Homo-oligomer: A and B are copies of this chain.
């Protein structure tokens, strides 16, 4: 009764737990994960990713290729919202604020999608650049700026049409903080720096926490993400047209392809190429929603949260990661 040999690589345990959570949600099973546990696990994953990446970067020669990769990641985060916005406005006729907010999510990245991909690579024994967590952190925010720009452009002409179309007063200071100092960026970069400074001895001391526990913690977290995806579909699904659902599937493919080609162009390793594709194809569900809620209060939070958490996240976990790993040659 031995399981199919390659199953573990195609469908690693964390992904199966995502499916379990999703199925339990669909069947309305009486199962829930405490919110504090979900938040705790998400903090743990970011700290562990950061620490591991920083320690990897501290080893000799590990910084080679960092700058082009960084430039690529930041560039993709800045630019990917553009096609998203044009499509949402042009083809789906979504209102400007909501379209801008959605497009910001797809330029930015999802930490857990990254974590799941990194886990798959580890299982497959595919190496990757140590600096990838820094790329992950760097890609969180540029897309937010593009989204805000997209929301503002073109509203200049309509200021005369009255109070309803005017942008609400924006607390610029608060927004800047939200954009630059959002939780994931601070945690990832902070842990990355600490991991770098602590180096090999620090890594060894923290390994039981950051490395040995990682797959198990990811399983629990993806269980909750499966439950959350269904919860969001139920609460916010009515707001999603079929067009939007299609967008939530196609956009990760466009983003992922862009990341894949770019990473191959700058000569990243197989693992690096796969991760860059995964990052570009993923959509934020922590930092960007929080920033958009403050900056674009008239955008429909139900739509962008649901699209990101309940459509694109599952698609990336189930289809995106295996696809990019395969195409990268893993």
Mark A residues whose CB is within 8 Å of B: 1-3, 7-8, 11-13, 16-17, 20, 23-24, 27-37, 39-40, 43-44, 47, 51, 57-58, 60, 62-63, 123, 177-178, 181-183, 186-187, 190-191, 193-194, 196-199, 201-202, 205-206, 208-210, 212-213, 215-217, 219-220, 223, 290
Q: Which 4 residue pairs are nearest across A and B when measured between Cβ atoms?
A: A209-B216, A208-B212, A29-B181, A36-B36
Closest partner residue, chain B, to A290 (CB atom) = B30
Chain B nearest Cβ from A318, distance in angstroms: 15
Can you list 27 pairs linking A and B with CB atoms under 8 Å apart?
A1-B57, A1-B60, A3-B197, A8-B198, A12-B202, A13-B194, A13-B205, A20-B191, A20-B194, A27-B177, A28-B181, A29-B181, A30-B178, A30-B182, A31-B183, A32-B183, A33-B39, A34-B40, A37-B39, A37-B40, A43-B220, A205-B215, A206-B216, A206-B219, A208-B208, A208-B213, A209-B212
Question: What distance in Å separates the Cβ of A187 from its nearest Cβ neighbour in chain B?
Answer: 7
Q: Return chain B residues, CB-CB under 8 Å to A20.
A: 186, 190-191, 194
Q: Is the CB of B187 within 8 A of A31?
A: yes
Known contacts A199-B3, A202-B13, A217 near B212 by CB under 8 Å: no
**Residue of A30, A187, A220 with most partner-chain B CB within 10 A:** A30
Would you give the shortest CB distance from A83 to chain B, in whole angstroms? 28
Residue from the list B2, B33, B194 in contact with A60, Cβ < 8 A = B2
Residues in B with CB closer than 8 Å to A215 are 205-206, 209
- Per the bound structure, the CA–CA distance linking A220 and B30 in Å amounts to 24
- Label chain A's interface by main secondary structure: helix
Given the contacts A60-B2, A194-B20, A219-B206, A34 and B33 also touching, CB distance less than 8 Å: no
A20, A23, A24, A182 interface centre (most CB from chain B within 10 Å): A20
Asked if residues A3 and B216 are in contact (CB atoms below 8 Å), the reply is no
Contacts of A37 in B (CB 8 A): 36, 39-40, 43
Minimal beta-carbon separation of A114 from chain B (angstroms): 18
A288 to chain B, nearest CB (A): 12
Known interface pairs A24-B181, A290-B30; A58-B1 also in contact (CB < 8 Å): yes
List B contacts of A58 (CB < 8 A): 1-3
B43 touches A181 (CB 8 A): no
Chain B nearest CB, measured from A15 CB (Å): 10
How many Å from the CB of A200 to the closest CB on chain B? 8
Residue of B nearest to A291 (CB): B30
Interchain CA distance A37-B41 in the complex, whole Å: 10
Residues of B close to A197: CB separation below 8 A = 3, 7-8, 11, 16
**Complex contact B177–A8 (CB within 8 A):** no
Note all chain B residues with C-beta closer than 8 A to A196: 3
- The residue in chain B whose Cβ has the minimal distance to the Cβ of A61 is B1
CA distance A41 to B106 in the complex (A): 35
Are the C-beta atoms of A177 and B30 separated by less than 8 Å? yes
